[in-house]
Chain A
Amino acid sequence: EAQVTQNPRYLITVTGKKLTVTCSQNMNHEYMSWYRQDPGLGLRQIYYSMNVEVTDKGDVPEGYKVSRKEKRNFPLILESPSPNQTSLYFCASSLFGRLNYGYTFGSGTRLTVV
């Protein structure tokens, strides 16, 4: 089954404790992206990647890191999480240059930072 897999689904952590949210897709998509979703603000892009070893900042990259060492994986790293990073996070993928096909989203990660 074609899908984007995110883990974990739920995570509660403390301020400053480094964490990684994993994202993997099995559709051979070049383009992958991370979004956060907050009430009233909609989906805001954090980082995106057009292919292996090619990443770029989205609208809200502060406090986040990403890497793209393999085509299928695009982990999101929070080096020192803070409470304002409490949010619902989505990974998404698409064929590069063919965004007119839309995104496939992962099932989401609800992160709480206390």
Chain B
Amino acid sequence: QKEVEQNSGPLSVPEGAIASLNCTYSDRVSQSFFWYRQYSGKSPELIMSIYSNGDKEDGRFTAQLNKASQYVSLLIRDSQPSDSATYLCAVNLVNNNDMRFGAGTRLTVKP
């Protein structure tokens, strides 16, 4: 089982819709969770971090964490074509003191 799993997509949503991206992780003691956005050929850019159960909102982005289900998600409201990118879920594994990444979900927002 992979440590961090994401649906590879592609996920396609119309402009203005809500995009929902999901991620599961295997290490129960993971403490920190991140979403990175990566445009094609570019480096990952941190867009959200979340550390406790519940929701965290930042502008059009909402991260949701459920540690009991080992599940973290990212909602993008009012999706824009500029949101079209690959979204990487990352988890800080306490035991290894490093970051593990999912393979990413490719999102396309159609005008």
Residue numbers of A with Cβ under 8 A of B are 33, 35, 40-43, 45, 48, 50, 58, 90, 97, 99-108, 110
Contact = CB atoms under 8 A, between A and B. Distances in A.
Interface in B74-103: 88, 90, 92, 97-99, 101-103
The range of chain B's interface size is 20 to 34
23 contacts: A33-B98, A35-B101, A41-B103, A42-B88, A42-B102, A42-B103, A43-B101, A48-B98, A58-B98, A90-B44, A99-B32, A99-B99, A100-B32, A100-B92, A102-B32, A102-B34, A102-B36, A102-B46, A102-B49, A103-B46, A105-B44, A105-B45, A107-B42
A31 to B, nearest CB: 8
Interface of B: 8, 31-32, 34, 36, 41-46, 49, 51, 88, 90, 92, 97-99, 101-104
Contacts of B41: 108, 110
A99 B88 contact: no
A43 B88 contact: yes
Given A102-B32, A102-B90, A108-B43, 6 more contacts: A33-B98, A42-B102, A43-B101, A100-B49, A103-B99, A105-B44
A45 B44 CA distance: 14
Contacts of B97: 50, 97, 99
Which of B43, B45, B49 has the largest number of chain A CB atoms within 10 A? Answer: B43
